[in-house]
Structure 1
Amino acid sequence: MHRPDLEIPIVPIFRSTAQQFRDIPFGISNSSAVLSHYNVTRNSICLFRLVDNEQLHLDAEDIENLDASKLSRFIQMHSLRWVTEYSPLIAAGLFNTMVQTHLLLIMNKTSPEYEKSLQQYREAAKLFQGQILFVLVDSGKGGNRKVISYFQLKESQLPALAIYESVNDKWDTLPITEVTVEKVQGFCDGFLKGTLLRDHDVEGDAEARKEEL
């Protein structure tokens, strides 16, 4: 966040919001050197994302009417991590990112293998920074059944990887018993090279199916 006057009403809101997102670094600065380094030319709240190197802004006119709930929503929708857990709230942010290829790990978070799998999945995500957005879908949540259905997967095929290219609505899946960096990397490389890419005859156009997610 940048603002010359650090006593304005948004500052305590910004500080209190920071307490809700312990895994996201927050900072406030009015240093000209810092502003120049990040190419910030006016009062704004900036969100920096590692996954696609994008810098998002809430500028002066937005800050004017900002409250805690609006700021929290902005962060929730747009603060994509190496692995972002899917939820209806985050869906819009996923489709608005610069990264058009999304990889989903569809897995029940209560599984004994979950923690180890997530660690491997996160390490693989770092290999595809700016190329593929890594998403976790908890198959144990009833609200996520639409996602599983979208990729034509059965419960017996889970856990599974599902990769999706939003530009032309291409996708593929891979049921996987063990999540390793090597397996995830191989699946992603194959899709990016086109060797796994195939059309799926699913009723409805791409935009309609995005809304389902």
Structure 2
Amino acid sequence: MAPLLSLIISLLAASVIAEDSALPSLNDVTAAEAFIEASEVVVIGFFETPSDETFGYKEFVEAAKTVKHIPVALCSDKEAWAKLGIVSDTISIFRKADNHQDNLQLSETKKVEADGLARFITMNELRYITEYNQVTAVGLFQSEVKAHLLLFINRGSSDYEVLKDLLGALAPEFVGKFLFVLVHGVKSNEKSLGYFGLTSRDLPRVGIYDRDSDMKWLMPEGEISTERVRKFCQSLILGNLKEVKQAGERVPKTEL
């Protein structure tokens, strides 16, 4: 019963940030692992001595207030530190989309500000399907996963929620191989659409951008179904897209 009880406690603790700004504390390995497993993205502040006098602690608590949609917790348990590869005070982001742990080791940081920590968290908030914008673009292009499956779609369209949920459900099958990205057909994304030869009037469409080869492809027009998108992704993995004519103009390595 102990592991189950720890999981329940972690889930409850992760759902809210207390009004007095106190963050939930993960007191052992089981609680830490349960907290990480419970959500697509979580943040843990590993502080040996969590107090206002500790470098970066106050700023971390302040940053947590601005990312309330992300579960945030504290951990001082050294057994959990060892299990998760923590050696000194560190702020870590754990995400399932690419099975990645992103560490900000405070001893290697000269200055810590709450705004900067909040940006570090949101920049690396990659999910099973991540909405593309100028902040998440940094995290997307820093990930070790080089292939992006892109859903170009107009927000508010009749099939918006259906297609978003469809791709979000498919993404776990391709962890480590693809990042699934939602690109809205808005003015700020005109360049991204243009790289694929698209405008907002052409949506919804599905594309792939592969950073390793700096190449891109559009899935042929038609129904956007789980099976078609799955086969499209597998075609890149199997090398079957290399001979297919690319869509639009060449994609710079620094942008979608």
Fold similarity call, TM over 0.5 = yes
Q: Indicate the SS of the match to 2:73.
A: coil
Report matched runs for 1:38-53 at 5 Å.
Answer: 38-53=84-99
Partner of 2:126: 80
Q: Indicate the SS of the match to 1:6.
A: coil
Mapped contact 1:47–1:56 kept (Cα < 8 A): yes
Shift of 1:212: 4.6
Partner of 2:164: 118
Identity over aligned pairs, percent:
31
> 1:128 & 1:52 partners in 2: Cα distance?
9
Change (3 A) 1:199 1:113: closer
> 1:3 & 1:64 partners in 2: Cα distance?
17
What amino acid is the match of 1:84?
T
Partner of 2:253: 210
Q: What per-residue deviation string (whole Å, max 9, x for no partner) do you get for residues 8-65 of structure 1?
A: 2633332232233233221111101111111111111111121222211111235551
Partner of 2:187: 142
Mapped contact 1:42–1:59 kept (Cα < 8 A): yes
> 1:203 & 1:179 partners in 2: Cα distance?
23
Q: What per-residue deviation string (whole Å, max 9, x for no partner) do you get for residues 170-209 of structure 1?
A: 21102555433222212111222122333549767x6xx1
TM-score (norm 2): 0.74
Shift of 1:145: 0.5
> 1:194 & 1:153 partners in 2: Cα distance?
24
Answer yes or no: is 1:90 the counterpart of 2:127.
no
Q: What per-residue deviation string (whole Å, max 9, x for no partner) do you get for residues 138-172 of structure 1?
A: 11x20101001001124443110110110111211
| CA RMSD in angstroms, aligned pairs only | 2.2
Partner of 1:182: 227
Partner of 1:102: 148
Mapped contact 1:10–1:63 kept (Cα < 8 A): no
Unaligned runs of 5+ residues in structure 2 are: 1-44
Unaligned runs of 5+ residues in structure 1 are: none
Among residues 73, 77, 101, which one is paired with 1:55 in the alignment? 101
Change (3 A) 1:150 1:107: same
Q: Indicate the SS of the match to 1:27.
A: strand
Partner of 2:74: 28
Higher alpha-carbon Rg: 2
Change (3 A) 1:202 1:182: closer
Change (3 A) 1:83 1:38: same
Change (3 A) 1:132 1:44: same
Partner of 2:112: 66
